[in-house]
Amino acid sequence: MGEQQKTIWQLLLFLAIICIQQSVQQKNPHYIGNRTTMVHLFEWKFDDIAKECEQFLGPYGYGGLQTSVITECIVIRNSEVKRPWWERYQVMSYKFISRSGNEQQFRNMVRRCNDAGVRVFVDIILNHMTGNNGENVVGTAGSTANTGESKYYPGVPYDKSHFHKTCSIENWNDANQIRFCELVGLRDLDQSQDYVRKNIIDKLNRMVDAGVAGFRVDAAKHMLPSDLKHIYDSVQNLRLDHGFPENARAFITQEVSDFGDPKDPVKREEYLPIGTVTEFRFGKELTNHFGGGSQIKYLKTFGTSWGLMKSEDGLVFVDNHDTQRDGNVLTYKKSKPYKMAVAFMLAHPHSKIPRVMSSFAFDNKELGPPMDGNENIISPKINADNSCGNGWVCEHRWRPIYGMVQFKNVVGEDAPLTNWWDNGSNQIAFCRGNRGFIAINKSGNLKQTLQTCLPSGKYCDVITGDLINNKCTGKVVTVDGNGNALIEIKESEDDAVLAIHIQSKLAVSKL
């Protein structure tokens, strides 16, 4: 090989290494310390998010939060309900203004959350713009545009030349229709164009400049991975003055709704080289077992053998803002099995990048967040027991869920799943190395002496209470010198889980 060829090969190898490093970094949420879990504060206002970071998320060990879409969208009053939740996805411009607040409030929120040890991830729309053809539409900032004229979206600005030709997705087995036609009538952007890419990259860089840690990419399966890669690679590094390490890349999770149908022409694996992918199969399987007829003893083998992505590739969740409305997954509406499923997610080592849902209550699936007579979002009311009011559910504030967030922080990523036990049907237990133990009772009364893998002593159950001033406010579990403990969960209990870890151990009193 000549010197010139050798130099070329060395350069190609160097570029390949850089690409691999970027891909790995874009799967790193850059949590601070030993934090492990993010929460989706669906439809929360920026000022309320900032306060929540300082008063709850930071102190209780959450690693990050996902916001709703922050860019200007149209105001919808002519649907089944006024101001429906999906209004956010009818993007009209790239201004940072929404029902959650303006750009100054957004930047202030991100700074305060980073200072509280909580990273911020933004739900972003890259695929489309609002599809109200030929109508004057009003945006959340009061902007107007006539989407039937040559300048469709003067706030960007885009015109008809920046979109794919008008067509609807009629055949969901056709990858070209999925990627180049209009999703539910929304104008489909052409991300292969330099001008479109520049506008998108500028928008993302403004978010990074505000201090965000990454993005959830809506409708990623409707865009080509090659176009997305170009966009991701062009986004600037994360901000050092917000506490990110040098050369840190934005965390990317991409919405690809792949439930394993072999006929689906767009596969999640196409997007794995450029970021993580939302793992829809995870919540489906946990719903089948904790909310359905499948026995939970079978979860002993839960993981990639079930068709799940590798733990570093998939963002896992029980429910999200879409699936909780289709009625096919567990949600807050069935709180007992839901808490079991979330606890299992946060205890299991396959859940390397978990996301907890935080909802507002709804009976009509179209319903938007709680609002006053002027259509302003009402802030959550925080009750004395940490729960929420004013129409907000706040699952992330439920004791069994935040207790398990802390459990996951303590056991970490590397503690192996050991000492699996089940009763042959719907009672299970396992250890996470020598750092944590969990038992779950789907049916019947569980009363069994089990191996906890923990040192002898008394431990507070983090599901039913807290460790305060060296006392347990909930159940106390006594572990003997062999690591065994009598574990009891009655069928009548609201919380069908028990969990202890090394940091929930009572200190030995010195006389």
Domain boundary among 411, 437, 466: 411
Q: What is the pLDDT of residues 197-218, one digit of tens each?
A: 999 999 999 999 999 999 999 9
The stretch 313-326 carries a mean pLDDT of 97
479 plus 400 within the same structural domain: no
Burial (Cβ within 10 Å: 0-12, 13-18, ≥19) of residue 60: middle
Pick from 278, 235, 230, 440: which is nearest to 343 by CA? 440
In a domain, 18, yes or no: no
In a domain, 5, yes or no: no
363 plus 478 within the same structural domain: no
Question: What pLDDT, on the 0 to 100 scale, is given for residue 156?
Answer: 93
Question: What pLDDT, on the 0 to 100 scale, is given for residue 150?
Answer: 62
Stretch (H or E) spanning 267: none
The distance of Cα 43 from the centroid of its chain, to the nearest Å, equals 14
330 plus 431 within the same structural domain: no
Here the tokens at position 76 are 């919808």
DSSP state of 288: I
Q: Cα separation of 307 and 89, whole Å?
A: 30
Sequence-separated (6 or more) residues with CB below 8 Å from residue 188? 127, 128, 163, 164, 180, 181, 182, 222
371 plus 454 within the same structural domain: no
Question: What pLDDT, on the 0 to 100 scale, is given for residue 18?
Answer: 46
231 plus 374 within the same structural domain: yes
Question: What pLDDT, on the 0 to 100 scale, is given for residue 511?
Answer: 40
385 plus 464 within the same structural domain: no
Q: What is the pLDDT of residues 435-488, one digit of tens each?
A: 999 999 999 999 999 999 999 999 999 999 999 999 999 999 999 999 999 999
In a domain, 361, yes or no: yes
In a domain, 12, yes or no: no
In a domain, 311, yes or no: yes
The stretch 420-433 carries a mean pLDDT of 98
Q: What is the pLDDT of residues 260-285, one digit of tens each?
A: 888 899 999 999 999 999 999 999 99
Q: What b/e string do you get for 191-229 counting C-beta neighbours within 10 Å, with b at 16 or more?
A: beeeebbebbbebbeebbebbbbbbbbbbbbbbbbebbb
Residue positions annotated with a catalytic role: 218, 255
Question: What pLDDT, on the 0 to 100 scale, is given for residue 17?
Answer: 47
- The SS3 assignment for 250 reads coil
Do the beta carbons of residue 222 and residue 182 sit within 8 Å? Answer: no
The torsion angle over the Cα atoms of residues 179, 184, 185 and 189, rounded to 10 degrees, is -30
309 plus 454 within the same structural domain: no
Q: Cα separation of 121 and 214, whole Å?
A: 5
Question: What pLDDT, on the 0 to 100 scale, is given for residue 22?
Answer: 55
300 plus 441 within the same structural domain: no
Stretch among 78-82, 109-113, 157-161, 301-305 having the lowest mean pLDDT? 78-82
The domain that holds 433 is classified in CATH as: 2.60.40.1180
Question: What pLDDT, on the 0 to 100 scale, is given for residue 14?
Answer: 47
pLDDT at 53 over 60: yes
Do the beta carbons of residue 435 and residue 467 sit within 8 Å? Answer: no
Domain boundary among 359, 392, 411: 411
Q: What is the pLDDT of residues 149-194, one digit of tens each?
A: 666 798 899 999 999 999 999 999 999 999 999 999 999 999 999 9
Domain boundary among 395, 411, 427: 411
**What one-letter code names the amino acid at 311?**
S
106 plus 236 within the same structural domain: yes
In a domain, 13, yes or no: no
Looking at the chain, the number of H-run helices and the number of E-run strands are 9, 24
325 plus 463 within the same structural domain: no
Domain span at 468: 417-504
Question: What pLDDT, on the 0 to 100 scale, is given for residue 149?
Answer: 60
Domains in the chain, number: 2
For the chain, what percent of residues have pLDDT higher than 90? 87
Query: Could you tell me the CA-to-CA distances from 481 to 316, 421, 478, 499, 501 in Å, in that order?
Result: 36, 20, 10, 19, 16
DSSP string, 57-123: ITTTT--EEEEPP-S-BB---SSSSSS-GGGGGSB--S-S-BTTB-HHHHHHHHHHHHHTT-EEEEE
Report the sign of the C-alpha dihedral through residues 249, 251, 255, 260, in that order.
positive
> Treating both helix axes as pointing N-terminal to C-terminal, what angle do 194-210 and 225-234 enclose, rounded to 10 degrees?
50
Question: What pLDDT, on the 0 to 100 scale, is given for residue 200?
Answer: 98
In a domain, 213, yes or no: yes
The domain that holds 241 is classified in CATH as: 3.20.20.80
Q: What is the chain's mean pLDDT, rounded?
A: 93
Stretch among 137-151, 227-241, 334-348 having the lowest mean pLDDT? 137-151
pLDDT band at 78 (very low <50, low <70, confident <90, very high): confident
Question: What pLDDT, on the 0 to 100 scale, is given for residue 142?
Answer: 78
In a domain, 111, yes or no: yes
372 plus 436 within the same structural domain: no
pLDDT at 89 over 90: yes
Q: What is the pLDDT of residues 381-411, one digit of tens each?
A: 999 999 999 999 999 999 999 999 999 999 9
How wide is the angle at C-alpha 10 spanned by C-alphas 4 and 12, nearest 5°?
A: 105
398 plus 338 within the same structural domain: yes
